[in-house]
Amino acid sequence: MRVRNKPWAESRMNDFPQYMIQQAESHKGKWHEVFGNNNPLYIEVGTGKGRFITGMAKAHPDVNFIGIELNRNVLVTALDLLIEEELPNLKLMVENAAELQKCFEKGEVSRVYLNFSDPWPKTRHAKRRLTHSSFLSVYEDILLEKGEIHFKTDNQGLFESSLLSISQYGMLLSFISLDLHNSYYDGNIMTEYEEKFSSKGSRIYRLEAAFNN
Ligand code: SAM
C-alpha cells in the first residue's frame, strides 16, 4: 500500500516527547525508568497506524507497550490515537526491527507482536520477512527466557513460511489458528489491516511461539 508523504510528521512527533521515544539506544537496559514501573514490556514490530497497540495498552494497563515502526508517515496516525487516549503505558518509536538489539538489553522485552507483516512473497526477498531466522535471532536477543512472539496475518504463504522458519529455529509453537475469527480465542484486538482484510472475507491466521532457551 502506498503511503502519502507527510513532511510535517517529524515535527509533530517532536512536539510529543512524552509519547515518542527519541534516541532509543539511550534507554537500553533502563526502560523501566521510562515507564516509571517494573511492569512487563511488550513490543509490536511494524505497528502501522496503531489501532492494535493502543487497544492493547488500554485493555492491559499493567503492561508497558512500545509500538515500533519504520515509517513515520503511518506512525504519526498512531501518535494521534495515543494523544487522544492519553495512555501512560504506551510509547512509540521509529526504528528498524533489524536494529532492536541496539535499543533493548537481553531479557528486557517479554513479548513481541508481529501483525500483518509485509509478506515479501518472492523467494529472493525471503530474508526481508519479519519471521525470517535473522529477525528471530534479533527477537531472541532482546526477549526474556522462553519469551514469546505472537503473529497474525491474512497471508497464507507468509503464515506457512513463518511456521517453517519458527520450527526450524527450534521454537515451540503453543497456539495455531488457521481461521482466527471462527476459532475460540478471547480478547482479539484487530489491527487496521485485519479489519480491512477480514471485512473482505479473508481468513486470519495466528500463532504463538516461544524461544526454547
Ligand atoms: N501492523 C499493522 C496492521 O496490521 O495494520 C501494519 C501492517 S503493514 C502491512 C506492515 C508494517 O510494517 C508497515 O507499516 C511497515 O512500515 C512496517 N515494517 C516493515 N518492515 C519493518 C521493519 N524492518 N521494522 C519496523 N517496521 C517495519
Pocket residues for ligand 1 (CB within 6 Å)?
45-48, 68-71, 74, 96-98, 115-118, 191-194
User: What single letter denotes the amino acid at residue 115?
Assistant: N
Atom of ligand 1 nearest to the CA of 75: 14
3-class secondary-structure state, position 135: helix
Atom 14 in ligand 1: which residue has the minimum CA distance? Answer: 48
Q: State the closest ligand 1 atom to the C-alpha of 118, by its place in the atom list counted from 1.
A: 9
Element spanning 10, H or E = helix 9-14
Strand order in the sheet with 205-210: 90-94, 64-69, 41-45, 109-115, 143-153, 205-210, 172-177
Tell me: pLDDT of 1 over 70.
no
Active-site residue, 118 included: yes
How many whole angstroms from its chain centre is CA 159?
A: 16
What is the residue extent of each domain of the chain? 9-15+34-95, 105-213
**Pair 191, 113: CB distance under 8 Å:** no
pLDDT tens for 97-112 read 999 999 999 999 999 9
Cell of 162: 513463518
Q: How would CATH label the architecture of 9-15+34-95?
A: 3-Layer(aba) Sandwich (3.40)
Q: Hey, do 9-15+34-95 and 105-213 end up sharing a CATH topology, with the first three levels equal? A: yes
18-41 average pLDDT score: 98
Distance of CA 20 from the midpoint of ligand 1 (Å): 17
Find the length of the chain: 213
Q: How much distance in Å is there from the Cα of 29 to the middle of ligand 1? A: 25
Query: Does residue 2 have a pLDDT over 90?
Result: no
C-alpha of residue 69 to centroid of ligand 1, in Å: 6
Main-chain dihedrals φ then ψ at residue 99, nearest 5 degrees = -110, 15
Which set of grid coordinates corresponds to residue 67?
509500538
For residue 61, how far is its CA from the centre of ligand 1 (angstroms)?
Answer: 24
CA 207 – CA 18 distance, rounded (Å): 33
Q: pLDDT, tens digit, for every residue of 54-110? A: 999 999 999 999 999 999 999 999 999 999 999 999 999 999 999 999 999 999 999
Residues 105-213: name the CATH superfamily.
Answer: Vaccinia Virus protein VP39 (3.40.50.150)
CB 153 within 8 A of CB 205: yes
Q: Looking at per-residue confidence, does 1 or 182 come out higher?
A: 182
- At 17, list the grid cell: 516527547
pLDDT digits (tens, 9 = 90+) for 178-205: 999 999 999 999 999 999 999 999 999 9
pTM exceeds 0.85, yes or no: yes
Q: Take atom 19 of ligand 1 and give the residue whose Cα is closest.
A: 46
